[in-house]
Amino acid sequence: MSKKYPYPLTIVCDRYCGAYSGGKFVAWPLDADQVPEGPDWGDCGCMDFWEQNVQLVGLGSTPEEAVDSLIERQKEPSDE
């Protein structure tokens, strides 16, 4: 059975290999032009971004793990 991938979906290699985000790969449920710039900033800016990030995102050591993480997080009930 094929996995149902979210759409839109953008997977990127984390600039700092997960030091701030917690994953070497990051899966965003966004088009590429909608992905926030914060994870690409310098050390302090990137650290601040991940400490304050509230956007839905999947993290993993491979692209597949990041997508799986995103799919699981999409299933979680929101606090809203």
Q: How many residues belong to the chain?
A: 80
Domain membership of residue 25 (yes or no) is yes
**From the centroid of its chain, how far is CA 79?**
19
Domain membership of residue 24 (yes or no) is yes
Which of the 8 DSSP states describes residue 77? P
pTM of the shown model: 0.88
Rounded to the nearest integer, the mean pLDDT of the chain is 93
Q: Is residue 38 scored above 90 in pLDDT? A: yes
CB contact at 8 A, 10 and 35: yes
Which of the 8 DSSP states describes residue 9? -
Instruction: Please give the pLDDT value at position 4.
Output: 84
Question: Domain tally for the chain?
Answer: 1
Q: Assign 60 to helix, strand or coil.
A: strand
Instruction: Please give the pLDDT value at position 62.
Output: 98
Q: Which domain holds residue 17?
A: 1-36+53-75
CB contact at 8 A, 37 and 7: no
Q: Is residue 27 scored above 50 in pLDDT? A: yes
Q: Is residue 1 scored above 50 in pLDDT? A: no
Query: Which one has a higher pLDDT value, 58 or 79?
Result: 58
